[in-house]
Amino acid sequence: MICTATDANGVEVELAVTYEPLGLEEARDTLKITSPVAGEYLIPLRGACVAPKPQGPIVIKAGASTQIPFKNVFTVQKEYRLVVDNTCFVVKDKEIGAPKKPMAIAVSFKPTPDVAAAKADVTGKLTITSGELPPWTFYLKGSFQ
Interval 60-93: pLDDT, tens: 999 999 999 999 988 899 999 999 999 999 999 9
Identify any residues that bridge with 108 across adjacent strands, giving them in sequence order.
Answer: 65, 90
Per-residue pLDDT, 5: 62
CA distance 21 to 74: 8
- CATH architecture for segment(s) 55-143: Sandwich (2.60)
CA distance 33 to 12: 14
Show the low-confidence residues of the chain (pLDDT under 70).
1-8
Per-residue pLDDT, 90: 96
| CA nearest to 58, candidates 1, 122, 110, 12 | 122
Per-residue pLDDT, 132: 86
Per-residue pLDDT, 18: 83
**How is the chain split into domains, by residue range?**
1-50, 55-143
* Alpha-carbon distance values, 72 to 43, 56, 79, 80, 81 (Å): 29, 19, 9, 9, 13
Residues 6 or more apart from 141 whose CB is under 8 A from it?
56, 57, 58, 59, 60, 121, 122, 123, 124
| CA nearest to 77, candidates 50, 106, 103 | 103
What global pTM score does this model have?
0.76
Per-residue pLDDT, 125: 98
Per-residue pLDDT, 13: 76
Per-residue pLDDT, 39: 85
Per-residue pLDDT, 2: 62
